[in-house]
Chains A and B, each alone.
Chain A
């Protein structure tokens, strides 16, 4: 019975957590990752909201548990096809190599929105317009500077870049960017207390535990200035600063200012793998995400027998939510493998 197996596609937070849980129960796990390094999007972050926990520690704790002999990890393997045939789930990589198992778990996750698509914000045109991911990278190296190497005296964070935006086809909220902006603005002010941080928002969605507290602290301790309005236009000035325009919607007046660095809080989109593999199995939902059978108790199973889902391939989720979801998926998969 115990030689039954599962393929997990994507070794990010959800994939690794589920692999560990399933392997602990004695089943064989094939964990497949398209990149060289494991950890998925978690690799891109330095510290996590709302408690500034080291992202690297979360990642290492996950990966360290992968030493079970029941788990085979295949990195640098991009799965391009996933289908059920001859009573097996079959995953095919770009070199046409096949992986077979009794069940399959999609943990193909998300990718961040391509900020170039918001042309008016000048990303990819002006050096000092960066994304929240690039901010994380700078924070990791401990050097948050302009392209010219100067300490930013003024930094602005813009929320909802690629989220809640009909123009790019994404009506949904990415859920993590608001709190991420609060986190990054606070981190910035910890390093440069004499600089000024501005945060432009449509709504501040502080729905997680301790989010509101972090928001409040960012005002009280770090003097982060929140302006309710969407930046409509960014342009470089002669001295390589960025002039931004917005409405201060609470006063009803247009507002403009120049900042040294503009950080675009890029939203969450379904990854190419998520979109591709979900479509092949007719479980594609809205906006390219994968669709579970139902939200209430059926959120890890799909309309395809033996095909399971976990994590951000379904929708934007935080890391604790993803871990919990992966554990739930593992539970469902174990139950399924016991039955067949």
Chain B
């Protein structure tokens, strides 16, 4: 194999023609309030885990919506399920239930085996 010194770069684009957005629909069956999120970031601002790690619930929720699952399971592991985010949400989104169910769905999709 010839050594070119470079590879064809992969696009970092979200391609909604290829992304699996069905999983978010499944999530909404379990947690209907998930649909109401307007990405205000109140959850991440109050989050205890976000204060000490780069965990960002708003972003995890968004990436799940857009079908971008790579590395998401590891991110969600940083959440301690304390529920502080649920108290602050202006749209009454059941954030804790979202995390829990995202973990289950990602687990089923074999993104990572998480002990539940």
Contact = CB atoms under 8 A, between A and B. Distances in A.
Find out whether A and B make contact in their complex, taking CB atoms under 8 A apart as touching.
yes
Instruction: Label chain A's interface by main secondary structure.
Output: strand
B35 A248 contact: no
A248 B66 contact: yes
A219 B65 CA distance: 13
A224 to B, nearest CB: 9
A257 B39 contact: no
A338 B14 CA distance: 66
A255 B13 contact: yes
Contacts of A295: none
A164 interface: no
B101 to A, nearest CB: 17
Given A248-B66, A250-B39, A251-B59, A216 B14 contact: no
Contacts, number: 49
Interface string B14-56: 1111000000010010001001101100000000000000000
Interface in A185-234: 204, 216, 219-220, 223, 225-226, 228
A203 to B, nearest CB: 11
B14 A248 contact: yes
Contacts of A250: 39, 58-59, 62
Size bracket of the B interface: 20 to 34
Contact of A216 (B15, B17, B62, B91): B91
Interface string A226-267: 101000000000000000000010110111111000000000
Given A250-B62, A251-B63, A256 B36 contact: no
A226 B59 CA distance: 15
A220 B14 contact: no
Contact of A220 (B12, B32, B68): B32
A253 B35 contact: no
B10 to A, nearest CB: 13
Q: Which of A223, A248, A258 is packed against the most chain B CB atoms within 10 Å?
A: A248
Given A220-B32, A228-B39, A250-B39, A258 B14 contact: no
A251 B63 CA distance: 7
A220 B36 contact: yes
Contacts of A226: 38
Contacts of B63: 251
A228 B16 CA distance: 14
A255 B32 contact: no
A223 B62 CA distance: 15
B91 A254 contact: no
Given A216-B91, A220-B32, A253 B12 contact: yes
B15 A256 contact: yes
Contact of A219 (B13, B35, B58, B66): B35
Given A216-B91, A248-B66, A253 B14 contact: yes
A79 B13 CA distance: 53
Nearest to B58: A250
Nearest to B91: A216
A219 B15 contact: no
A82 B65 CA distance: 57
A249 to B, nearest CB: 10
Contacts of A225: 65
Q: Which of B14, B32, B66, B68 is packed against the most chain A CB atoms within 10 Å?
A: B14
Interface of A: 204, 216, 219-220, 223, 225-226, 228, 248, 250-251, 253-258
25 contacts: A216-B36, A216-B91, A219-B36, A220-B32, A220-B35, A220-B36, A223-B28, A228-B39, A248-B66, A250-B39, A250-B58, A251-B62, A251-B66, A251-B68, A253-B12, A253-B68, A254-B13, A254-B14, A255-B15, A255-B16, A256-B14, A256-B16, A256-B17, A257-B16, A258-B17
Would you list the 10 A-B pairs with minimal beta carbon distance, nearest first?
A257-B16, A255-B14, A254-B13, A219-B35, A250-B39, A253-B14, A251-B62, A220-B35, A219-B36, A257-B17
Given A251-B68, A254-B12, 11 more contacts: A226-B38, A250-B58, A250-B59, A250-B62, A251-B59, A253-B12, A254-B13, A255-B16, A256-B13, A257-B17, A258-B17
